[in-house]
Amino acid sequence: MVLTLIVVIATGVAAGWEYARGRAGLVRGVRAAQEVRARLAADRIERAVRERERLVALWPGLDLSQDLAVDDIDKRLSGSLEELASHFGGGALALAADTGGRVVSASDRGWIGRSVRGEAWYLDPSTLKTNQAAARTSEGRAPLLALAGPVRATADGRLLGSILLLTRWRALVQDAAGSDAAAIVVRDAAGRTLFRGRDFPPVSRISAATRTSIGVTVETAVSTAQALGPLREATRRLVLLAFLVLLVGVPGAMLLARSTTRELARLTRQAEAAQRTGTPAFAPADPAAPADVRTLAAALAEMAERAEASRRELARQETLAALGTMAAGLAHEVRTPLSVIRGSAEILARAARPDTREAELGDFIIAEADRLARLVDEMLAFARPPEPRREPIDLARAAARVAEGWARGATAAVRLETELAPAPVLADPEQMVQVVLNLATNAAQASPTGGEIRLRTRAEGDDAVLEVEDSGRGISPDDLERVWTPFFSGRSGGTGLGLPIVRRIVEAHGGRVEIESEVGRGTRVTVRLPLDRSSP
């Protein structure tokens, strides 16, 4: 009896000690994971604000902003402001105000004529620096981020007013942080709450905070009960099991305890390593470990994998955002002078006598201007892809439209073979035709004279599948992943925007694009979209 009591006390003490060690290690691991999530969320929010700053600094320099110099504002400036606000979805409002604070043009026409000088977020244009955007955050039930840039007359530098962009912090954070927004809080430099996710624990939490260069602090958290639940359950079961095994033999209980604590110690070391390096990596638990420990290890490994995937996706989105902003600005600046060049060339070509050098040069300039105009259109399509207008369609019909146009065009050098089975989807018909046409055009450009392109559609499981396959030169393994990078092209004269545009359209419809290629054997591109099972 005395021996049993001693063993029971010793088992309780050992379990309590191991629980304390495991709890400390688990808290460190969870906090390290929260630090990674906080940094990622802070980076996304900071980049979202910086992108708005760049555009607000750019917009006052556009020629359309000079319309502030006259009282009669036409629809051009409002259209430009609608375009600015559309970059950031429904949570943004773009305004053009004169020096007195009266709104003379807006993305929402209901604001025209209102005075905003007395608003808490208003920024006096006389205090703003040229080619820069100033920011201000307002309080209230719906905190706003206000950005403003001054508009000055091109001729004499006179201050005409300002371009303002208003974004609700809730919409900004939800758009930038995505699914992680539910568990974060954003506060300004004074500690006021700008955004609070619905799942952010009010009390008893394990949290981490990151301060950004834009003056806000991002905090992520998980409730203590949720984080320590598996450990508490594992400890409870361990103690119960220890008492049961005590009836059979103390050695068995000690062996099980050692196995559990060994796995917890390993997780603790991995958590400490993650805290030092900032990159969490958790290996699977020993198959002989208790189920709760394996579950905990698997959850930490999945959290680490998602953090790394989020980091890679953030880097890709940052690159696409920068390229999109550059493309949009360049396209706006190029389109007008390009139209002037083409119109002038048409006038010169008509004035020249046929079959002369002047007529030939005029036709050459017109052809090159048309080619550059198509490039500008592709750049704009990549920079600001329109929101898809979804309706029930069949991928087979979209492919058939392309095939019919192919048959009528001068494309006899490459044959197009079709195998079209029904593949219903909810999608934008014109964007689906653009996807098929881009892929077919790429395949034709990669195929030799007399080559063959195979165009197929079908339903496969839960996917509607589109395949475009050629027998051309193929893509090297080094270039296979680079084909999705904007402006990368494997042929002379290519824009490098065809496949990135396809990927953007497909991902906007909830699908994915896969590519397989072998040098000298050809390439196959497969598009998978959610199958519309509501269609007859």
Residue where the block lists tokens 């990078």 = 485
| Number of structural domains in the chain | 1
Give the pLDDT confidence score for residue 200 in this predicted structure. Answer: 83
Tell me, yes or no, whether 403 lies in a domain.
yes
Q: How far apart are CA 222 and CA 199, in angstroms?
A: 9
**What domain range includes position 428?**
391-530
For residue 520, the SS3 value is coil
Let me know: does 228 contact 23? Beta carbons within 8 Å: yes
Give the pLDDT confidence score for residue 237 in this predicted structure. Answer: 66
Q: What is the pLDDT of residues 97-111, one digit of tens each?
A: 898 899 988 888 888
Candidate ranges 10-24, 356-370, 396-410; pick with highest mean pLDDT:
396-410
Q: Is the pLDDT of residue 484 over 60?
A: yes
Q: How far apart are CA 75 and CA 244, in angstroms?
A: 81
Q: How far apart are CA 180 and CA 195, in angstroms?
A: 13
Tell me, yes or no, whether 100 lies in a domain.
no
- For the entire predicted model, the pTM comes to 0.43
Q: Is 397 exposed, middle or buried (0-12, 13-18, 19+ CB in 10 A)?
A: middle
Residue 179 confidence class, pLDDT cut points 50, 70, 90: confident
Q: What is the pLDDT of residues 59-71, one digit of tens each?
A: 888 877 877 877 6
Q: How far apart are CA 447 and CA 472, in angstroms?
A: 4
Residue where the block lists tokens 């991902």 = 507
Per-position DSSP letters for 120-185, written without gaps between them: TT---GGGSPTT--EEEEE-SSS-EEEEEEEEE-TTT--EEEEEEEEEEHHHHHHHHHGGGGGGEE
Tell me, yes or no, whether 492 lies in a domain.
yes
Residue 257 confidence class, pLDDT cut points 50, 70, 90: low
Residue 122 confidence class, pLDDT cut points 50, 70, 90: confident
Give the pLDDT confidence score for residue 511 in this predicted structure. Answer: 92
Residue 534 confidence class, pLDDT cut points 50, 70, 90: confident
Tell me, yes or no, whether 157 lies in a domain.
no
Region 305-328: what's the mean pLDDT? 56
Cα distances (angstroms) measured from residue 375 to each of 372, 382, 504: 5, 11, 17
The 193-196 sheet, strands edge to edge: 193-196, 184-187, 217-223, 205-211
Q: Count the neighbouring beta carbons within 10 Å of the beta carbon of residue 197.
A: 21
Q: Is the pLDDT of residue 294 over 50?
A: yes
Tell me, yes or no, whether 501 lies in a domain.
yes
Q: Which residues pair with 166 in a beta bridge?
A: 93, 146
Give the pLDDT confidence score for residue 56 in this predicted structure. Answer: 84
Residue % of the chain over a pLDDT of 70? 60
Let me know: does 220 contact 184? Beta carbons within 8 Å: yes
Region 59-84: what's the mean pLDDT? 77
Q: Is the pLDDT of residue 424 over 70?
A: yes
Tell me, yes or no, whether 405 lies in a domain.
yes
Q: What is the pLDDT of residues 134-143, one digit of tens each?
A: 667 665 667 8
Of 206, 234, 228, 154, the closest CA to residue 35 belongs to: 206
Q: Is the pLDDT of residue 365 over 60?
A: yes
Give the pLDDT confidence score for residue 170 in this predicted structure. Answer: 86
Give the pLDDT confidence score for residue 307 in this predicted structure. Answer: 60
Q: How far apart are CA 47 and CA 52, in angstroms?
A: 9
Let me know: does 59 contact 80? Beta carbons within 8 Å: yes
Tell me, yes or no, whether 167 lies in a domain.
no
Q: Is the pLDDT of residue 3 over 50?
A: no
Tell me, yes or no, whether 470 lies in a domain.
yes
Contacts of 408 (CB under 8 A, 6+ apart): none
Give the pLDDT confidence score for residue 36 in this predicted structure. Answer: 83
Per-position DSSP letters for 365-403, written without gaps between them: HHHHHHHHHHHHHHHHHHHSPPPP--EEEEHHHHHHHHH
Mean pLDDT in the chain? 75
Q: Is the pLDDT of residue 43 over 80?
A: yes
Q: How many residues does the chain have?
A: 536
Give the pLDDT confidence score for residue 198 in this predicted structure. Answer: 85
Region 497-514: what's the mean pLDDT? 85
The CATH number linked to 526 is 3.30.565.10
